[in-house]
Amino acid sequence: MVLGVYVSNFPLELSVVPRASPSVSLLGISTRMPRYYFDLCENNELAVDEEGLELPNMRAVQIEAARSLVDIARHAVWTGAETILGHQMSIQVRDGSGPVLQAKFTFELEKHRQ
């Protein structure tokens, strides 16, 4: 999956290696892992994940959201001029039934002296 977003007016392409989607057979019944979608919200703009990832449990979803947000935030802080004043972004995770969780990043600088 490739998620293309613009961070601070710079194009950013994030490549996520697709995970295998193994089927587990229990008494001849095939089951699949649930699919989760990681939508990026930045500066009131939403980049919708249309492919998603199949992950085994909520812990894996939390780790994926946190790692993705850290990578995107790191890039935004190093490349964006507006990060001098502050920056906010979030990853909103959803499944086929709706919202699951949200990971947020806020960067602010507070001057105490000129």
Say if CB 54 and CB 21 are below 8 A apart: yes
Q: Do the domain assignments include residue 40?
A: yes
Query: Is 80 inside a domain boundary?
Result: yes
Residue 57 lies in a domain: yes
User: 0.75 cut: is pTM over it?
Assistant: no
Contact of 75 with 7, CB cutoff 8 Å: yes
Mean pLDDT of 77-92: 74
pLDDT averaged over the chain?
A: 76
Q: How confident is the model at residue 101, as a pLDDT?
A: 96
With bands split at pLDDT 50, 70 and 90, how would you rate the model's confidence at 87? confident
The string of pLDDT tens digits covering residues 7-48 is: 333 444 443 434 444 444 456 555 789 999 999 998 788 999
55: number of Cβ within 10 Å: 20
In this structure, is residue 43 part of a structural domain? yes
Q: Which domain holds residue 47?
A: 2-16+33-107
Number of domains in the chain: 1
